[in-house]
Amino acid sequence: MNRRTLFVTLAITGGALLATGCASTPPAPTPRIVMQVSDGDAAKWNLALNVAGNAQKELGADKIQVEIVAFGPGIGMLKFDAVTANRVNDAIKSGVQVVACENTMSSQKLVKADMNPNVSYVPAGVIEIMNRQQQGWAYVRP
């Protein structure tokens, strides 16, 4: 095969691969939402839980990551006896990550025994949200 024939063959083959999508394309990233709940209002918590559930319903619970970060007055909704405890537990069971700010817990003299046993913890809620945003997570504040 001469040089010209080799060049034309390689050009056609390369073009065909690109045209048919055989070129390596990275998969689309998993959608990710981080939500802030810093109000002590049960309606805000219910709204956040509704948003999380609706996102999972729309995209599929296994096709989206959702994290709810509670700090300030919002931490009360993560206590084991909170009015939203059952809904928080259901969200966690469905794959929603619910995290409590340890700074807020410390300032309110709360310990893990006071909290819903199914929640996770982060040292600082605001820093967790900031880190998630830097990682490309969508920020939602219901």
The CATH number that applies at residue 67 is 3.40.1260.10
pLDDT tens sequence across 36-85: 999 999 999 999 999 999 999 999 999 999 999 999 999 999 999 999 99
In a domain, 13, yes or no: no
User: Do the domain assignments include residue 77?
Assistant: yes
Full-model pTM: 0.81
Rounded percentage of the chain residues whose pLDDT exceeds 90: 80
Which DSSP symbol is given to 124? -
Structural domain count, the chain: 1
Domain extent at residue 43: 32-140
68 found inside a domain: yes
Do the domain assignments include residue 16?
no
pLDDT band with cut points at 50, 70 and 90 for residue 29: confident
pLDDT of residue 88: 97
Residue 4, domain member (yes or no): no
